[in-house]
């Protein structure tokens, strides 16, 4: 039987805080490698080792994710102690040990490790940079950079721990080589399987994370007539002017075009499908409500906003002095930084219905990112 021990009990001394609990969006770091391992039916048991005081909260978190088959055990003061605790709580005769701080382990690498025969299977990558030890140039062709997951026969792992007398080792293969002189079977590792060590490594993490998002783009347009005695709303902000947009709702062209752009990007129809003007309840409705609904739809569809670019067409008044307020308002509703929103305005040089101040129009383009992470339910499986 093959068990997996996921080690995430480190204090994160070089990192600043325990890495296992770094959250990317709503996902804790430990979930990233966990979700990849969950795809392997060969793994019959998973033990997650976390700092003692986090044990309860992680247990609860996994339960809410529907992953209550995973054992959560407390770690020790050292890596070796943590792995040892994990081992005590596992039953497999072969054990995979993996660092939670290597979140992007490729499936192929897990496959290679599982398939390789040997009492001690260790993935490695080559060193590409020039390296010195003191003044001595090292032969980099001969250097192996060791990674996890390592697959280890339970017997030799137990024996090595027994004889280690509490000594700490950077990884289990080093301990077993040193104490039992067992030669590892090496398999090709992966640079994607990097170890998050320093705070700046978050840059790599975010870059790869973004790779999990599929870009989708949407475009929207709207026009409303202008009439005296109506209030003018642009981007949810009241703009003092003698005329305002005529419409079923408050006639906010900027928000209307933006709603259409967002709905278009995710293939969810348009503003008319969601808020038909045949319905009384949208009469004189504040358009920011439509945008708030879009935020709910985006959350449901696992979509985040990349950026938004809008152009408003109107002759008067000048929008430039209201731009800051409009951006701030939209950013608040959409729950994104203002830098992601661009608002521009154009006149029509006194030509046409815009130029004659008979109408106001707006175009919006938005780039969204759709997560390709599967929902938790799709990766669930029964583990005996």
For Mg ion, the closer CB: 21 or 275: 275
Identify the residue whose tokens are 């992680």. 58
For Mg ion, the closer CB: 19 or 256: 256
**What is the distance between the alpha carbons of residues 248 and 208, in angstroms, rounded to a whole number?**
45
Give the per-residue contact string, 296-335, with Mg ion (x = CB under 5 A; - = no).
----------------------------------------
For Mg ion, the closer CB: 105 or 361: 361
For Mg ion, the closer CB: 83 or 314: 314
Give the per-residue contact string, 233-262, with Mg ion (x = CB under 5 A; - = no).
-----------------------x------
For Mg ion, the closer CB: 192 or 223: 223
Min separation Cβ 292 and Mg ion, Å:
16
Q: How many CB atoms within 10 Å of residue 95?
A: 27
Min separation Cβ 309 and Mg ion, Å:
19
For Mg ion, the closer CB: 82 or 362: 362
**What is the distance between the alpha carbons of residues 265 and 156, in angstroms, rounded to a whole number?**
55
Min separation Cβ 44 and Mg ion, Å:
57
Residue nearest to Mg ion (CB): 256
For Mg ion, the closer CB: 208 or 246: 246
For Mg ion, the closer CB: 213 or 221: 221
**What is the distance between the alpha carbons of residues 87 and 30, in angstroms, rounded to a whole number?**
18
Task: Locate 214 and state its tokens.
Answer: 């599929």
Min separation Cβ 227 and Mg ion, Å:
14
Segment 63-122, which members bind Mg ion (CB under 5 A)? none
Min separation Cβ 328 and Mg ion, Å:
22
State the number of binding residues for Mg ion (CB under 5 A).
2
Segment 255-294, which members bind Mg ion (CB under 5 A)? 256
Give the per-residue contact string, 191-230, with Mg ion (x = CB under 5 A; - = no).
-------------------------------x--------
For Mg ion, the closer CB: 171 or 222: 222
3-state secondary structure the chain: CEEEEEECCCCCCCCCCCHHHCEECCEEHHHHHHHHHCCCCCEEEEEEEECHHHHHHHHHHHHHCCCCCCEEEECCCCHHHHHHHHHHCCCCCEEEEEECCCCCCCHHHHHHHHHCCCCEEEEEEECCCCCEECCEECCHHHCEEECCCEEEEHHHHHHHHHHHCCCCCCCHHHHHHHHHCCCCEEEECCHHHCCCCCHHHHHHHHHHHHHCEEEEEEEEEEEEEEEECCCEEECCEEECCCEEECCCCCCCHHHHHHHHHHHHHCCCCCHHHHCCCCCHHHCCCCCHHHHHHHHHHHHHCCEEEEEEEEEEECCCCCCHHHHHHHHHHHHHHHCCCHHHEEEEEECCCCCHHHHCCCEEEEEEEEEEEEECCCCHHHHCCCCC
Min separation Cβ 247 and Mg ion, Å:
5
Give the per-residue contact string, 135-174, with Mg ion (x = CB under 5 A; - = no).
----------------------------------------
Min separation Cβ 360 and Mg ion, Å:
10
Min separation Cβ 275 and Mg ion, Å:
10
Min separation Cβ 270 and Mg ion, Å:
10
State the residues that interact with Mg ion by CB under 5 A.
222, 256
């Amino acid at each position: 039987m093959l068990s997996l021990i996921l080690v995430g009990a480190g204090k994160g001394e070089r990192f600043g805080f325990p890495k296992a609990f770094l959250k990317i969006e709503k996902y804790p770091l430990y979930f990233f490698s966990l979700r990849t391992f969950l795809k392997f039916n060969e793994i019959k048991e998973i033990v997650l080792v976390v700092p003692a005081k986090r044990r309860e909260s992680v247990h609860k978190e996994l339960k809410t994710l529907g992953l209550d088959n995973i054992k959560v055990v407390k770690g020790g003061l050292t890596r070796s102690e943590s792995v040892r605790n994990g081992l005590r709580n596992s039953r497999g005769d072969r054990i995979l040990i993996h660092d939670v701080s290597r979140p992007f382990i490729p499936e192929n690498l897990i496959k290679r490790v599982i398939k390789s025969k040997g009492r001690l299977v260790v993935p490695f990558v080559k060193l590409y940079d020039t390296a010195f030890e003191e003044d001595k140039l090292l032969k980099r062709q001969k250097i192996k950079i060791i990674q996890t997951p390592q697959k280890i026969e339970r017997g030799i792992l137990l024996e090595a721990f027994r004889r280690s007398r509490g000594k700490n080792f950077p990884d289990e293969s080093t301990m077993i080589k040193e104490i039992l002189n067992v030669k590892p079977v090496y398999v090709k590792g992966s640079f994607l399987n990097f170890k998050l060590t320093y705070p700046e490594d978050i840059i790599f993490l975010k870059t790869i994370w973004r790779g999990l998002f599929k870009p989708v783009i949407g475009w929207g347009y709207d026009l409303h007539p202008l009439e005296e005695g109506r209030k003018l709303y642009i981007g949810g902000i009241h703009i003092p002017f003698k005329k305002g947009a005529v419409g079923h709702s408050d006639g906010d062209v900027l928000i209307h075009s933006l709603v259409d752009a967002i709905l278009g990007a995710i293939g969810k129809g348009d503003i008319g499908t969601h808020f038909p003007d045949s319905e009384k309840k949208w009469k004189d409705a504040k358009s920011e409500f439509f945008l708030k609904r879009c935020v709910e739809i985006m959350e449901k569809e696992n979509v985040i906003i990349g950026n938004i670019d809008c152009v408003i067409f109107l002759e008067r008044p000048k929008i430039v002095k209201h731009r800051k307020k409009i951006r701030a308002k939209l950013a608040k509703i959409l729950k994104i930084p203002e830098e992601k929103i661009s608002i521009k305005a154009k006149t029509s040089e006194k030509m046409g219905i815009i130029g004659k101040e008979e109408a106001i129009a707006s175009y919006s383009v938005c780039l969204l990112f759709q997560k390709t992470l599967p929902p938790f339910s799709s990766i669930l499986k029964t583990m005996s």
